[in-house]
Amino acid sequence: MDDVEAVVLVGGKGTRLRPLTLAAAKPMLPTAGVPFLAHLLSRIRAAGVRRVVLGTSYLAETFEAGFGDGAALDLELIYVTEEQPLGTGGGIRNVADHLTAETVMVFNGDVLAGTDLTAVVDTHRRTDADVTLHLVRVQNPRAFGCVPTDAEGRVQAFLEKTEDPPTDQINAGCYVFRRKVIDQIPAGRVVSVERDTFPGLLAEGARVWGHVDAAYWRDLGTPGDLVHGSADLVRGIAPSAALPGPVGDRLVLEGAELAPDALVFGGTTVGRGVRIGPGARVEGAMLFDGAVVGAGALVRHSIVGFGAQVHEGAVLVDSVVGDRAVVGAQCELRHGARVWPGVTLPPHGVRFSPDV
């Protein structure tokens, strides 16, 4: 794979993950102890690829600040920024001048997957395809656009979400491109690879192939997926060489203080300097650096932002607390509630609110 280059698209605004993405780009959010992108980059490196071009836009400078020239990951990292976001296809076209290889793997920067990347490239070469898409079989294809293939694996259509999908194969957000196909994407304007480029290639009769598997796959675009993906990384269900500690029921980073009787499990990440009080129960959660969970609080499948506080007896289920926000004692937040950064909820101040 040393003759293959990678492009990772990291320019999206990550609106579904607000308020976490108001201050950090989605691929830079701490996920099982490191920025999510570190997991993806280490997987790309492990497959034998050395040169990676990052297509940035939103909070572009934070990527180079985090990863530099890539030497720490044994990668050569190149950053190419869109002044205005150009969409997924426009983002790929925008990095074309920086590519040197004939075979280019393109990744959405927010997908956690266990697929054998070498096998995807092998399919591409064996079928002499113009573009090969990684397609993954999922239990509920209704939530995604689906991509039927014929008996040889040739893609037949790109279908929007439907109640009655004809296949359980969905676009997994990882592609192999023949270089010349990238050059044909219109430059300098917004293009969606899913809605414009791929349907256009099919209409022209280009060789578009699918590499289908049922490996681990999760798009970390929503708080629920991010928190479950993070727990899968901590528990080793989604393997990653970038995990900064042993696989286990929890990952505790430096300087964290856990009361001896606090129950912390289910793939929870406890960030640097976090404090968890006596009798607290923290299950499958993400506690960013400096967060505080008070005595007797319950935090389940929720994300607590940098320096945020969940006071004693509060309940947080399937919810997000923004950076430096305070959830007062005995408050109860469930069902996708989100507290905006810096907001303070008074004690007993809220129960079951969907948005605060």
Interacting residue ranges for ligand GTP, rule: CB under 6 A: 9-16, 26, 55, 57, 82, 85-88, 91, 108-110, 221
Closest distance to ligand GTP from the beta carbon of 302 (Å) = 18
Closest distance to ligand GTP from the beta carbon of 150 (Å) = 27
DSSP symbols for 211-245: EEE---EEE--SHHHHHHHHHHHHHTSS--TT-SS
- 287: β partners: 270, 304
Contact 87, 198 (CB under 8 A): no
Contact 57, 81 (CB under 8 A): yes
Nearer to ligand GTP, 9 or 32 (CB): 9
Closest distance to ligand GTP from the beta carbon of 190 (Å) = 7
Q: How far is Cα 17 from Cα 22, in angstroms, rounded to an integer?
A: 9
DSSP-derived letter for residue 312 is: T
Closest distance to ligand GTP from the beta carbon of 90 (Å) = 6
Nearer to ligand GTP, 27 or 290 (CB): 27
Closest distance to ligand GTP from the beta carbon of 77 (Å) = 15
State both tokens at 87.
């969409």
State both tokens at 130.
């113009």
Closest distance to ligand GTP from the beta carbon of 125 (Å) = 25
Q: How far is Cα 140 from Cα 38, in angstroms, rounded to an integer?
A: 28
Q: How far is Cα 228 from Cα 268, in angstroms, rounded to an integer?
A: 10
Closest distance to ligand GTP from the beta carbon of 326 (Å) = 26
- CB burial readout 210-226, b (16+ within 10 A) else e: bbbbeeebbbbbebbbb
Nearer to ligand GTP, 81 or 167 (CB): 81
Residue 330 region by backbone torsions, left for phi larger than 0, else alpha for psi between -120 and 50, else beta: left
**Cα radius of gyration rounded to whole Å, the chain:** 21
Nearer to ligand GTP, 95 or 337 (CB): 95
Nearer to ligand GTP, 79 or 288 (CB): 79
Give the CB-side neighbour count of residue 219, counting CA atoms within 13 A: 17
Nearer to ligand GTP, 27 or 307 (CB): 27
Nearer to ligand GTP, 9 or 286 (CB): 9
Nearer to ligand GTP, 225 or 249 (CB): 225
State both tokens at 102.
């004939």
DSSP symbols for 91-160: HHHHTGGG---SEEEEEETTEEE---HHHHHHHHHHTT-SEEEEEEE-S-GGGS-B--B-TT-BB---B-
Nearer to ligand GTP, 88 or 268 (CB): 88
Closest distance to ligand GTP from the beta carbon of 40 (Å) = 9
Amino acid at 304: V
CB nearest ligand GTP: which residue? 12
Q: How far is Cα 31 from Cα 274, in angstroms, rounded to an integer?
A: 15
Nearer to ligand GTP, 193 or 314 (CB): 193
Three-state SS across 32-46?
CCEEHHHHHHHHHHH
Closest distance to ligand GTP from the beta carbon of 13 (Å) = 5
Closest distance to ligand GTP from the beta carbon of 351 (Å) = 28
